[in-house]
Structure 1
Amino acid sequence: MNYLLTLVFLFGICYVRAEDDFLPDYIQPCNLKEDDFAKCVKQQIEESLPNFSKGIPELGVPSVDPVNLDDILIDGNGLKLKFEKAQMHGLSHTKLTKLKVDIGREEETINLGIIANLSLTAKYNADGKILILPIKGDGDAVITCKNIEVEINSKFSHIKSNKGMHFKLVTPNYKYDIQSTTFEFENLFNGNKQLADATLQFANENWRQLMDDLAPPVVKQIVKTIVKAINKFFSKVTIDRIVNGYKQKS
């Protein structure tokens, strides 16, 4: 019995130490004092994005591909459209488009730009009109967004733990643009192919008007999920583990 308790105790110690010291091998610290600090951070983010988006179980960082979304409701302008059990897929293939990091100054900030092809899957229920055409049905839906660009601006704050000081992204704001979108709705008009094809063609030709209502809540949830995952990582890894030569502001 004593032997078993000892093993449990040692396992607990090893687990805590592993978490304290753990840093994925695809993430290397950058030296703040070096001239190529910005280049190093950019390289680290570019190399980390595909792996980071899959999650880091050792640090409790969840996967962000797919992203589970809250129910989405469009109700206005003659259209009632609801999406349930929605998921966004594709963030593991995100690419970095821009990066500016200010660390070690009075105000520490990050400006991050990413681009990806994303698809939303959900159960939909629609009744009303898309602009001038009627739409009615319920079933599976797939919405595919090509080259959706999101730019996130955020400040860094500092959180103290018994391990040391940690970064945290606060007051993030963002903007986005979408190159194109296509819609697929199964079981429109109870399977009437002629009506369904005409409505889908019209929707896909006028996708931007639909996305004016649909995109904001979706992008908001995506950004919230990304920031939450990053902050989870920061909460487990102290600043001095990822930034060499960082001096805490007094």
Structure 2
Amino acid sequence: MCKITYFFLFGMLALNGIGESFCGSLPSDIPKCKISDNVCIASSMNEALRLYPKGSPAFDLADLSRIFVPKVELGNAAGHSSAVQLNLIFLNSTTSGLEKAKVVNVSGFDPDIKQIIVNLEVPFMKLETEYEMDGKILFLTLKGKGHAEIHLKMATNRVTINVGLEKRNGKTHLIVKDMTCDFRPQGFFIHMDNLFDGNKEITDSVNEVINANWRDVYSALSDNINRSLAQGMLGILRNVAASLAYDDIYLK
């Protein structure tokens, strides 16, 4: 039985998308487009988001309003060099809000496809997670372990996916080589419980300082956050590309 898959995953930030393949066919309520018609493709992505924000068991689509990631490592914990001397781990994270994303435009869906770019707007995204943190960011020394909640408001996200093509069983499939994200919020909020062994006074003070200086804090962390988001999406994208033939998503 042909596995149900998610072509429109290419249009989503952090960790999902939409589409269906019953042995190479998209669902009838998702309009097909001519190849290279990037305006039509963006519109079809938005229609998929409108129709299936919470997924559908009929074609094995995950709930886009609750996206679970077991572990994300940022900063030095992930083995990356960084100006931010910070070890930060997110455990059992749940992200909501991506189901309300809007695809602004896309490019790259061509016969000799090499790179896909999807620009998104996300009105509000919430991340709830357990965290472990130790290190410094800007002028703050941070140490703690507990629950955290992060809000990103009125964000844009530019997703860049480098791909190739290969023939398998008479069909052309995408090979996803790598990808990057560039997530830019206009507003940011974070609250971390249990900083400094549960000292409530220090915990509240540090959260206040971080939120008062959120632009500097987010700027310092953004490279690592975007890198981790891209790594989390890469395996999912490769599975989609392996399952859904590139030939079959277009009008003939």
Q: TM-score of the superposition, structure 2-length normalised?
A: 0.70
Q: CA offsets, 1:129-178, max 9 Å, x none?
A: 55445544321111212233221233442222225112334343443322
Hey, what does 2:119 align to over in structure 1?
113
Unaligned runs of 5+ in 1: 1-14, 246-250
Partner secondary structure for residue 31 of structure 1: coil
Hey, what does 2:148 align to over in structure 1?
141
Structure 1 or 2, whichever has the larger Rg, is: 1
Distance 1:234 1:68, change over 3 A: same
Hey, what does 1:44 align to over in structure 2?
44
Hey, what does 2:34 align to over in structure 1?
31
Q: CA offsets, 1:70-112, max 9 Å, x none?
A: 34244588965532414251322222122223413x5544221
Residues 113 and 151 in structure 1, CA contact (< 8 A), matched pair in contact too: yes
- How large is the Cα RMSD of the aligned pairs? 3.5
1:21-170 alignment runs, 5 A limit: 22-32=25-35, 37-49=37-49, 65-68=66-69, 70-74=71-75, 80-90=86-96, 91-104=98-111, 106=112, 108-116=114-122, 117-127=124-134, 131-162=138-169, 164-170=171-177
Aligned residues: 227
Q: CA offsets, 1:15-57, max 9 Å, x none?
A: 3499415533443322349xxx333212111112356775676
Greater helix share, 1 or 2?
A: 1
1:12-23 alignment runs, 5 A limit: 15-16=1-2, 19-20=22-23, 22-23=25-26
Unaligned runs of 5+ in 2: 4-20, 77-81
Residues 157 and 167 in structure 1, CA contact (< 8 A), matched pair in contact too: yes
Looking at structure 2, the residues matched to 53 and 92 of structure 1 have their Cα atoms a distance apart, in angstroms, of 5
AA matched with 2:155: I
1:208 positional shift: 2.9
AA matched with 1:113: N
1:172 equivalent among 172, 179, 185: 179
Hey, what does 1:211 align to over in structure 2?
218
Distance 1:227 1:62, change over 3 A: farther
Looking at structure 2, the residues matched to 62 and 124 of structure 1 have their Cα atoms a distance apart, in angstroms, of 25
Distance 1:97 1:69, change over 3 A: farther
Looking at structure 2, the residues matched to 77 and 108 of structure 1 have their Cα atoms a distance apart, in angstroms, of 32
Partner secondary structure for residue 23 of structure 2: helix
Q: TM-score of the superposition, structure 1-length normalised?
A: 0.71
Q: CA offsets, 1:186-227, max 9 Å, x none?
A: 123444443322211111112233324433333223234445
Matched, 1:229 2:236: yes
Distance 1:198 1:100, change over 3 A: same
Residues 55 and 62 in structure 2, CA contact (< 8 A), matched pair in contact too: yes
